[in-house]
Structure 1
Amino acid sequence: MLERVSRVLEYDKMKEQLLPFASSSLGKQKVKQLQPSFDYEEVKENHARTWEAAKVLRLKGNIPLGGLRDIRASIKRAEIGGQLNAGELLEVSSTIYASRRFKSFIANMVEDGVELNIFPALTEEIADLKELQQEINAAIDENGGVLDSASTELRSIRQQIRSHESAVRSRLDNITRSSSGRKMLSDAIVTIRNDRYVIPVKAEYRGHFGGIVHDQSASGATLFVEPESVVQTNNQLREARTKEKYEIERILQVLSGSVMEYTSELNFIVQTMTEVDFMFAKALYAHSINATAPKLNETGFLEMKGARHPLIPDEEIVPIDIELGGDFSSLVITGPNTGGKTVTLKTVGLLTLMVQSGLHIPCKEGSTAAVFQQIFADIGDEQSIEQSLSTFSSHMTNIVQIMEKVDFQSLVLFDELGAGTDPTEGAALAISILDHVYNVGAKVIATTHYSELKGYAYNREGVVNASVEFNVETLRPTYRLLIGVPGRSNAFAISSRLGLSEKIIEAAKGQISTETNKVENMISSLEDSRKEAEQELEHAAELREEAARLHRELENKLLQWEEEKDRLLQSAEDQAAGYVSKAKKEAEEIISNLRNMQKNNPAIKEHQLIDAKKQLEEAEPDFASKRKKPKPKKEKPTVHTLIAGDEVKVESIQQKGTIVEKVNEKEYTVQLGMMKMKVNKNDLVYLSRPKPVETRPMAMVQGRNAAVKTELDLRGERYESAMMDVEKYIDEATLAGYHQVSIIHGKGTGALRKGVEELLRSHPNVAEMRMGSQGEGGSGVTIAKLK
């Protein structure tokens, strides 16, 4: 079943995308073997490994994994006493170096304060086989050749080889360079046949040089002859090369024995570094598809935000938001063909398989994924001619197997459930199947064309309709998934757009039942409401953004204005200080001249000169003391509970108002000028609370009260404020037991005086009033006698 699900959800194609990100054949082999896990703890551990690899990749960029080789076969042969060749030994050394370098890389990150858990634990057990690496590198060069320094014996043998080769070539070169020799040679060169140095001799001169014939040309005109003069030296050279071969084999056997001593350590290195390569392959793949780490759960709840199918190019894919397993466990998706219903199913299915494989998924941050015990999918047409199965039979065969195994820890994906048979029977069968899966407790997503299933979601708790949006104007799907809104067939709208007669369309509509029309009208109303809500939300977001932008601009302009004001003030102060300094210098010169004059005129006294200088110093302005200091910012008082009468500020519209009443725990009714509105508690900032008025017994306010003066000064106040102050003052003076009070309003335009006189004339506590006498302030004061 899992193999079939992996095939229909294109799991192997996703692994093909992952494969190139492994840096070694070991990592690639592990990618090919990758399968989803159904163990929650194992999935959590795999995600933790991918997340830590992604963290290292994000901090460091490049990861040192070069040099890792698959040396398992070499280790096994060394373990049973076999001899490794130079290339195999070089791969062993390279793998040891790769492990040591990565272990050092992780240790340096930890020393730098980077918090890592998995990699330090993995690399801690890696043995530092530096001596074995150095032993191999001292004997074998980077091209796989055994070095002269591998042993003293090998160095000596190779010196002999070079000596014999030099002697042979020297003798043969003498022959090729001589005038007589050139006549008898086909070409003046020295070549090799059967690992022995020879010269090309014309056939007619075969006996001139003696020695041994090793080969001849195709025509027979040239013989490759080893002259008798070099046969002995060639023999010595051959013996030396044989000795070299045996010595090299001895050296390789010794090195293979050294490898045999560390086979368990080397196997652990291979195993660990394979896992490391695989972890970074997953992290690199996640980066390439802009994937994120989902929150995991085993309750069957998933919420994929902006989910994208990894096999569809970015320029073609439309991200979808999908939720399942929370308020509802079944999702029924309706909509037109090619609208994206099947893509939605495959996206959810493939991303779930990726999650359970320890891979990050192409969704927005904050997405949630579930770990299911079983994943079932019936997607696509698997009609089999050989088995004589129709489309419907093929689907039902698969569904029967699903029904036998499904449980409450399963995710089930049905594509076009009930299709391929009579619509009435198919719809009834689809409803029955969905009911069974729902009752079992599994999470299910099903796509369908049947209108009966649209009503099914409304009549079942835990089942929700969804649809893929279709633009009737362009006759193209938008591929957006709309949860909570059932899909419309759009057949009539599409036919009309394509030019079908309205008469035919109206006749077709008459063939549809009243219930079906009601459902379609309801769906249309839901779509219109959704679009209107989206437009209003978008408009509100634009207004909020514009308000925020204007606020930022005003703040910047205010800051610039303050800076410019300070700059101009500083410039003016500097200029004024310069003038004062210049004047002081001139004054000092004048005083100096006066002193000189004093000598000639004793009438000028010393203390007069000192006083004059002091007056000049006092005349210098003190700019620092006169400059207005910025007022300290007042901290907003903290009030935990708002009550009626509190003055508040509505942050979103920057308006002050007064609390009228508390609606609920989250909202208050606020009076804003002439308007009342409900405001969220988080949008309110407390400003002040009016002090309660103390109600004191009459016996306590009788007699003189030191807190109330016998006169009230209104000068400088605005008219409305002054009238309120007068009325309040008359009441307090009456309670204090005063018989007469003075109200100072000044002369000015006379408006304030007239207002005071009119108020006092109509006040119930004022017996009489008059203008103040000359000694009382004249027309600037009004005297009131109280009852």
Structure 2
Amino acid sequence: MIYPSNFENKIQFGEIRSLLKESCLSQLGKDKVEKMAFNDDVERINTLLRQTHEFRRLQEEADEFPLQYFYDMRASIKRVRLEGTHLEENELFDLRRSLETIGGIVRFLSRGSDEGVYDFPTLHDLTEGVLTFPDLLRRIDQILDKYGKIKDTASPMLAETRAQLRKAEGSVSRTLNSILRAAQSEGLVDKDATPTLRDGRLVVPIAPGLKRKIKGIVHDESSTGKTVFVEPAEVVEANNRIRELEAEERREVVRILVEFSKLVRPHVNELMYSYQLLAEVDFIRARAELATLMGAMEPRVEAAPVMDWVSARHPLLWLALKKQDKTVVPLDITLKPQQHILIISGPNAGGKSVCLKTVGLLQYMLQCGLSVPMSERSKVGIFQNLMIDIGDEQSIENDLSTYSSHLLNMKIMMRQSNARTLLLIDEFGTGTEPQIGGAMAEAVLNQFVKKQAWGVITTHYQNLKHYADSHEGIANGAMLYDRHEMRPLFQLAIGQPGSSFAIEIARKTGIPEEVIREASEIVGSDYIQSDKYLQDIVRDKRYWEQKRQTIHQQEKRLQERIDHYEQDINAVERDRRDILAKAKQEAEELLRESNRKIENTIREIREQQAERESTRRIRKELEGFKQDVEAFDTKAEDDKIARKIEQIKARKERREERKKKKKDDEQKAAEALRSAALRDQKVRDNVIAVGDSVRIRGAKSEGKVESLSGKMATVIFGDMRTKLPVSRLQLLAAPSEPAEGDAKAETSSQPTKMDVLREGLQSYKMSHMTQDTIDDHRKNFKQDLDVRGMRGDEALQAVQYFIDDAILVGMPRVRILHGKGNGILRQLIRQYLSAEPNVTHVRDEHVQFGGAGITVVDLG
């Protein structure tokens, strides 16, 4: 039940209907908007909301949905039920286009990812039983052209008639032009005159005084009377023939349309049903457009009365303020079985009536199947009865005063109320003497509580506020007011009553202080003090609510930070296990390769016919080496990685402390940079000379300059002599900069193959003979590897052994000669080197020394 009959006007639902109609594409949708009504069928409401939600998603995901040609052909289709009637040419064209749209909609909504599973299932349900009439479309295409005109080929008779008509019109046109040229030569007609059409007949324009110079029939004259239109006698018969042919053409067109209407007549009911799909789609589209306009959503509606709304907005107020670049204060309201009636108090113009209308309008919109502007966290339900008492309902005709009309509304509400009724009452109990009005309101309110009705009621009466505090099922609410700035906040706070702020508002409006003081004395100090205490409660409530929100936000941020740290710790733990496993695997592989190298060394000693005793001693040391490798204890590695993890945690804890020391560190760094700059300047002023100790920029190896030739220098690194540009050399007197590979080693916690090998070799004592063998291998190691001419797999194997040897002997930089060619060999080698953890940098050699044909590899 909806009460009273003008309920929609009271909550301004008529404006919502108007917005919906503006969004419709045709009268089909507008008729659906007019028929839209309140209902309490939860399945129907949820279906309507799902339709809107799916259509909004459809608009976002698909551009090809057919939304053109929404023509209302229902009246024309109904007309052809009578024998002998037919569709006109333009109606046939609209029927063809609208049927094409219906077919496109059915095809689109029948698409799906799997058999029986559709992309938009709720919308697809609308297409059930809808026919698309392909035979009618084909027949229309045979009759009409793409512009909606009857084709000449629609029938043989029509083609013949139109051919004769064109021939007759051409003959008349030629005759008229001949007569017109003769009349122009005689000066009877203006030089720029042309034949024209009057009453379907071709005529010649001529001055009134000369009309008898041309024999014929005068058909018309211009509005000014300066021109008459004469049909020459020579073309009268021809024009008559044209009129006859036009009549024959029209009869044939009508015959074709009648014949087509006979095809339509058996399918009138099916066609009317198909146009219901157009109406539904138009209505759904309008609902989707309105939802987007209002920023609304489609909640899941529960069958029972539920009202837990978060950030609800009055849509019309929101749209009006949006045009003024203003915002609406959202409404949070909760009604539940334990507190199903809310008594809202507060100052005048504080938003009580707006709150009431917002509840009424949104609930009514929801139960009409419309989207509602509120947060997705909201919970909504349905009511069987919606009743409202708002505004002045006095009636001269019915001899009702304002208070009498309120009492009549209360009588009906008490009679019809139940546990599924929502009551909306504004200024409860007003219109009569306050004391008896408040008492009557309290008694009526007691009846609503007994009937377990739900409601939102606004009032200024203190006794109703006290009643809400002392009875179950009812709660107080207040519209907040800023007492310092003397302005309403339009915020609803549930849990305590609100003050009317009558004294403050009166003082703000300029009422004399004497009048305010006298009024205060009349009501008594107890009332003034109680109202003041109420204001203080509201203020304190607001203050602590803000504090609660602040603490909640801080707790949320703290929890997010804790979760982030826990994720980091878990990630570090996973990385630790992965690094340890990989390090162990690489260490085992490298140690096996070391065994192979040592075996090769022994074989070389044998081939060189070394003494038997020396060979036996070497083999014994080798066996001891193997036993040490097999007994390699990884616990030290575990402890080392665990220490790394602890260091990472410690660094996080010391982060704040480092921020405090940042300023001092920056000053020290600046001073160090200045000192380094001075030293670098001194070094740059020096000229590199023969015998100087130098190193290649970015590398660790130290060398000595053997000779200088222009900008080139010959430098000895160990047993290797290299020719380099002087610009690439750096005097050792300059401050050393950490190489790129060193930086990576310092910042990375991942143990490399070389780290594992070195620590593994340090964990047990190596014999002098084995150490001498490795030292000898280091002396014989060549810094360059030539793989030109090798196959890809051979070259990769050679590079792998070469890099392992370089790591074993501690070589910081090596070169691989692979040639340029097609670049395939270079690419394979670079891919392998990029995956090798001990390789810190890879680049092409300088163009003077081979360029892209040589890869320079820096090892860490």
Q: Same fold (TM over 0.5)?
A: yes
1:402 and 2:419 equivalent?
no
Equivalent positions of 1:147-186 (< 5 A) are 147-177=151-181, 181=185, 183-186=187-190
Question: Is the alpha carbon distance of 1:561 and 1:126 closer, same or farther for their aligned partners in structure 2, counting shifts above 3 Å?
Answer: closer
Compared CA separation, residues 591 and 69, structure 1 to 2 (3 A) = same
Q: Do the aligned partners of residues 95 and 609 (structure 1) sit closer, same or farther apart at CA in structure 2, a change above 3 Å counting? A: farther
In the aligned structure 2, how far is the partner of 1:303 from the partner of 1:594? 90
Q: SS of the residue aligned with 2:337?
A: coil
Aligned residue identity for 2:94: E
Q: Alpha-carbon deviations, 1:9-54, whole Å to 9, x = none?
A: 11212211222232221111110222212xx33x421331331331
The reply on whether 1:452 has 2:454 as its aligned counterpart is no
Is 1:348 matched with 2:363? no
In structure 2, how many angstroms separate the alpha carbons of the residues matched to 1:497 and 1:212? 89
* Equivalent-residue separation in structure 2 for 1:589 and 1:329 (angstroms): 92
The CA distance in 1 between the partners of 2:381 and 2:600, in whole Å, is 93
Identity among equivalent positions (%) equals: 31
Task: Give a deviation string over 1:472-525, Cα, whole Å, max 9, x none.
Answer: 111111111111110113234455677889898777655545764674465346
Measured in 2, the distance between the counterparts of 1:386 and 1:419 equals 22
Paired position in structure 1 for 2:48: 49
SS for the counterpart of 2:429 is: coil
CA deviation string 1:553-602 (max 9, x = no partner): 76798899999999999xx99xx9xxx9xx99x99999999999x6xx99
1:264 partnered with 2:269: yes
1:85 and 2:88 are equivalent in the alignment: yes
- Shift of the alpha carbon at 1:469? 0.7
Match 1:417 to one of 428, 431, 441: 428
AA at the equivalent of 2:356: L
SS at match of 1:262: helix
SS across alignment from 1:338: coil
Bigger Cα displacement from structure 2, 104-113 vs 374-383: 104-113
Alignment of 1:121-520 (within 5 A): 121-177=125-181, 181=185, 183-186=187-190, 187-202=192-207, 206=211, 209-217=214-222, 222-297=227-302, 299-313=304-318, 315-384=326-395, 389-494=400-505, 511-512=522-523, 516=527, 519-520=530-531
* d(CA) in 2 for partners of 1:631, 1:52: 62
Q: In the TM superposition, what whole-angstrom CA distance separates every residue of 1:75-111 from its partner, at most 9, and x where no partner exists?
A: 1110112222111222222222121111101111465
**2:456 alignment partner, SS class:** strand
Q: Hey, what does 1:106 align to over in structure 2?
A: 109
Q: What secondary structure does 2:283 align onto? A: helix
Q: Is the 8 A contact 1:191 1:198 kept in 2?
A: yes
- Determine if contact 2:195/2:204 at 8 Å carries over to the other structure: yes
CA contact (8 A) 1:334 1:341 kept: yes
- Quick check: 1:148–1:154 contact (8 Å CA) kept in 2? yes
Distance in 2 (alpha carbons) for counterparts of 1:368 and 1:560: 39
Q: Which amino acid aligns with 1:133?
A: L
2:765 counterpart residue number: none
1:752 maps to none
Distance 1:440 1:602 in 2: 114
Alpha carbons of structure 1 residues 519 and 177: separation in structure 2 relative to 1, 3 Å: same
Show the counterpart of 2:13. 11
Task: Name the amino acid aligned to 2:376.
Answer: E
Map of 1:533 onto structure 2: 544
Q: Using the TM superposition, give the Cα deviation of residue 468 of structure 1 relative to its aligned residue in structure 2, in angstroms.
A: 0.7
- Matched residues in 1 for 2:635 and 2:316: separation? 72
Instruction: Report what 2:705 is aligned to.
Output: none
User: Which residue in 1 is equivalent to 2:77?
Assistant: 75
**Higher helix fraction (1 or 2):** 2
Letter in structure 2 aligned against 1:98:
T
Contact 1:307 1:363 in 2 (8 A): yes
Deviation string, structure 1 residues 351-410 (Cα, Å, up to 9, x no partner): 221122122222222433343332221101234466665433343343344344444432
Looking at structure 2, the residues matched to 499 and 195 of structure 1 have their Cα atoms a distance apart, in angstroms, of 81
Contact kept? 2:477, 2:496, Cα under 8 Å:
yes
Q: 1:132 to 1:333 in 2, by over 3 A?
A: same
Q: 1:49 to 1:469 in 2, by over 3 A?
A: same
Give the alignment partner of residue 64 of structure 1, picking from 43, 57, 66. Answer: 66
CA deviations 1:126-171 (Å, max 9, x no partner) are: 1120111221232124544222121121112111112222222223
Q: Which whole-Å deviations, capped at 9, do the CAs of 1:668-725 have from their partners, x for residues lacking one?
A: xxxxxxxxxxxxxxxxxxxxxxxxxxxxxxxxxxxxxxxxxxxxxxxxxxxxxxxxxx
Distance 1:446-1:91 versus aligned 2 partners, 3 A rule: same
For residues 400 and 277 of structure 1, the distance between their equivalents in structure 2, rounded to whole angstroms, comes to 42
- C-alpha distance in 2, partners of 1:119/1:143? 32
Change (3 A) 1:604 1:99: same
Q: Please tell me whether the aligned partners of residues 110 and 116 of structure 1 are also in contact (alpha carbons under 8 angstroms).
A: no
Q: Secondary structure at the match of 1:449?
A: coil
8 Å contact kept, 2:421–2:453: yes
Q: RMSD of the TM alignment (CA)?
A: 4.6
- More deviation, 100-109/200-209: 200-209
Matching residue of 1:778: none
SS, match of residue 329 in structure 1? strand
Letter in 1 for 2:392: D
CA-to-aligned-CA distance 1:596-654 (integer Å, 9 cap, x gap): 9x6xx998999699979989x99xx9999999579999xxxxxxxxxxxxxxxxxxxxx
Question: Is residue 214–residue 225 contact of structure 1 (8 Å, CA) maintained in 2?
Answer: yes
Which residues of structure 1 form unaligned runs of 5+?
Answer: 634-787
Aligned partner letter, 1:34: M
Aligned AA for 2:489? T
Partner Cα separation in structure 1 for residue 233 and residue 639 of structure 2: 112
Q: In structure 2, how many angstroms separate the alpha carbons of the residues matched to 1:192 and 1:624?
A: 113
The one of 114, 120, 125 equivalent to 2:124 is 120
1:629–1:293 CA distance, 2 compared to 1 (3 A):
farther
Whole-angstrom CA distance in 2 between matches of 1:22 and 1:378:
33
8 Å Cα contact 2:346/2:460 also seen in 1: yes
CA distance in 2, matches of 1:252, 1:612: 113
Q: Which amino acid aligns with 2:375?
A: K
Q: TM-score, normalised by structure 2?
A: 0.63
Note the 1:595-744 alignment, pairs <5 A.
Answer: none
| 8 A contact 1:295–1:366 mirrored in 2 | no
Q: Which deviates further from its counterpart, 148-157 or 387-396? A: 387-396
Tell me if the contact between 1:176 and 1:182 (Cα under 8 Å) persists in the aligned partners.
no
Equivalent position of 2:555 in the other structure: 544
Change beyond 3 A, Cα 1:630–1:287: farther
Amino acid of the structure 2 residue aligned with 1:435: N
* Matched length: 627
Contact residue 423 and residue 456 of structure 2 kept, 8 A? yes
- In 2, Cα distance between equivalents of 1:483 and 1:8: 25
